[in-house]
Amino acid sequence: MGPAGACWRGGRGPCGLRRWLSSCAVAPRVCVVGSGPAGFYTAQHILKHHGEARVDIYEKLPVPFGLVRFGVAPDHPEVKNVTNTFTQTARSERCAYYGNVTVGRDVTVAELQRCYHAVVLSYGAEDHRVLGIPGENLSGVYSAREFVGWYNGLPESQDLKPDLSCETALVLGHGNVALDIARILLSPLQLLRKTDITDGSLAALACSKVKRVWLVGRRGPLQVAFTIKELREMINLPGARAVLDPADFTGLENTIKGAPRPTKRLTELMIKTALEKPVEKAVEAQTAAPREWGLKFQRSPQEVLPSADGRRARGVRLALTRLQGSGDSAKAIPTGDTEELECGLVLSSIGYRSVPLEPAVPFDAQRGVIPNSSGRVEGVPGLYCSGWVKRGATGVIITTMNDSFDTAQSVLEDLQRGVLDVATSREGFGAVESILRSRGVRPVSFSDWEKIDAAEVARGRAAGKPREKIVDPQEMLQLISH
């Protein structure tokens, strides 16, 4: 699919669609469930390419933006700039935002389908993939999702209270989220104080004893999922030195000669870091670095080992692996050998996972997605999906943008072909509002969110931060009820 602004020739492209659709008698009403990037990009594309459509976005939290707010690392403010575009979309005359509404509980998908011509599910991935090994429920073991949610102000993660009293942490996974976690654990406090990290997590990190983080992956250096920007940031982190074993990179210079440029550059940076001998002047600084981190390859977690009292994690037993095949499709096969790594904190960063919304909506539990074709939910006309619940929890914001435009295009095509019955008008939020009122639910508007936003920015300014996130939904609701 071409860029958002592409103008295709013929009747099927956005321009042809726009001309045809603007002559529709009844303005189509579309409902989007979820206000993260997938939800907003879906809404944006429909509004841009259909001059009459009205889009309502529902969100279970009072505050919008999903993982842009709760997933992006606090020290990556530039990534959060997409919220400016989302804000423009939400302020459109033909768009409305309703927060504090849990679809599946406060209002059902079937009820939404009666109120709208099309319903798009874009509610993301609200769970994490489990390791499925003994000991993963011990104290001191956390999923990346809850740990990231904890330092980013996700309401459901605010009672996490991770135990940071150990010296060594082990992160299972070699993706950007794994590097984010390692960086937050090892960053100097003066860097974090200038970010929108929550007050409570900043206080906990100030008392943290963690000074060593190992990032463990089942496969080798050529299969890591993190990107060069995040790796470089980690290598240049003040007060922390990288510990990479040169033996892990033997012979890789030749292997990567024909590799795609991003893989080549990333591997070259790892090799350079592994082989780097500190120059004389920097030797003292290097040895004086109070903290360290390293990458461990070809190791697969077998068991989280319990402390003497059987309650806490004291380490992880890892199965050593060998690679079968090459490149992205290489599989990690256990060799039969194992090793134990001592650590008091284990963070599992092996991926997020979507959950079923309600029994009436088809769901593939194996893959953690809603079965669909180009975003059209199988067997349920008028129901669509976009983002992680459509394709699985992979990719970055740009991937989600293209994926959401693809779903939005399916909605536009179905409107044009008459698959969606727009001859009968639908009441949209007017009808949903009375359902919500009868169930005692008070939706939060976008201007309500802007009051919360202003309060957070004001609190942040007082503390020298971009914002101080409010983490309690009740406090958010009290703030806007005055």
7 within 8 A of 366, measured Cβ to Cβ: no
The DSSP output letter for 277 is: P
pLDDT tens digits for range 346-384 = 999 999 999 999 999 999 999 999 999 999 999 999 999
* Structural domain includes residue 9: no
> What pLDDT score was predicted for residue 20?
47
How sure is the predictor about 281, in pLDDT bands with cuts at 50, 70 and 90?
Answer: very low
> Lowest mean pLDDT: which of 5-9, 81-85, 326-330?
5-9
202 with 329, same domain: the answer is yes
* Structural domain includes residue 365: yes
283 with 231, same domain: the answer is yes
pLDDT at 9 over 60: no
149 with 275, same domain: the answer is yes
pTM: 0.91
Burial class (CB in 10 A: 0-12, 13-18, 19+), 372: buried
For the beta carbon of residue 378, count every other beta carbon within 10 angstroms: 11
pLDDT tens digits for range 200-249 = 999 999 999 999 999 999 999 999 999 999 999 999 999 999 999 999 99
431-455: b (≥16 Cβ within 10 Å) or e = bbbebbeeeebebbebebbeebbeb
* Structural domain includes residue 477: no
Question: Which tokens sit at 354?
Answer: 């979507």
How sure is the predictor about 288, in pLDDT bands with cuts at 50, 70 and 90?
Answer: low
255 with 385, same domain: the answer is no
Please state the φ and ψ torsions of residue 454, each to the nearest 5 degrees. Answer: -60, -40
The average pLDDT across 111-122 equals 98
Question: Which tokens sit at 178?
Answer: 């794994």
* Structural domain includes residue 434: yes
> What pLDDT score was predicted for residue 8?
35
The DSSP output letter for 13 is: S
Contacts for 450 with CB less than 8 Å, ≥ 6 apart: none
* Structural domain includes residue 482: no
Higher pLDDT: 314 or 26? It is 314
pLDDT at 25 over 70: no
> What pLDDT score was predicted for residue 258?
86
* Structural domain includes residue 449: no
184 with 291, same domain: the answer is yes
> What pLDDT score was predicted for residue 327?
82
Burial class (CB in 10 A: 0-12, 13-18, 19+), 301: buried
Percent of the chain with pLDDT over 70: 92
84 with 207, same domain: the answer is no
> What pLDDT score was predicted for residue 284?
53
pLDDT tens digits for range 130-139 = 999 999 999 9
327 with 406, same domain: the answer is no
> What pLDDT score was predicted for residue 394?
86
Q: What is the CATH number of the domain that holds 308?
A: 3.50.50.60
pLDDT at 285 over 80: no
Higher pLDDT: 178 or 24? It is 178
280 with 407, same domain: the answer is no
pLDDT at 443 over 90: yes
pLDDT tens digits for range 383-434 = 999 999 999 998 889 999 999 999 999 999 999 999 998 999 999 999 999 9
The DSSP output letter for 27 is: P
From 415, 476, 414, 395, select the one nearest 442 (Cα to Cα): 476
pLDDT at 19 over 80: no
Structural domain count of the chain: 2
From 419, 434, 423, select the one nearest 383 (Cα to Cα): 419
Amino acid at 480: I
Say how far apart CA 131 and CA 145 lie, in whole Å.
13
The average pLDDT across 324-346 equals 94
45 with 169, same domain: the answer is no
Say how far apart CA 371 and CA 383 lie, in whole Å.
11
pLDDT at 150 over 60: yes
Q: Is the dihedral of CA 266, 269, 270, 271 positive or negative?
A: positive
pLDDT tens digits for range 41-83 = 999 999 999 999 999 999 999 999 999 999 999 999 999 999 9
Q: Choose the final residue of a domain: 352, 387, 420.
A: 352
How sure is the predictor about 283, in pLDDT bands with cuts at 50, 70 and 90?
Answer: low
* Structural domain includes residue 462: no
> What pLDDT score was predicted for residue 409?
98
* Structural domain includes residue 4: no
92 with 227, same domain: the answer is no
From 157, 141, 166, 170, select the one nearest 200 (Cα to Cα): 157
Q: Choose the final residue of a domain: 352, 386, 411.
A: 352
Q: Choose the final residue of a domain: 333, 352, 371.
A: 352
226 with 320, same domain: the answer is yes
Q: What is the CATH number of the domain that holds 121?
A: 3.40.50.720
281 with 409, same domain: the answer is no
Q: Which domain holds residue 330?
A: 128-352
pLDDT averaged over every residue in the chain: 92
Question: Which tokens sit at 14?
Answer: 């956005």
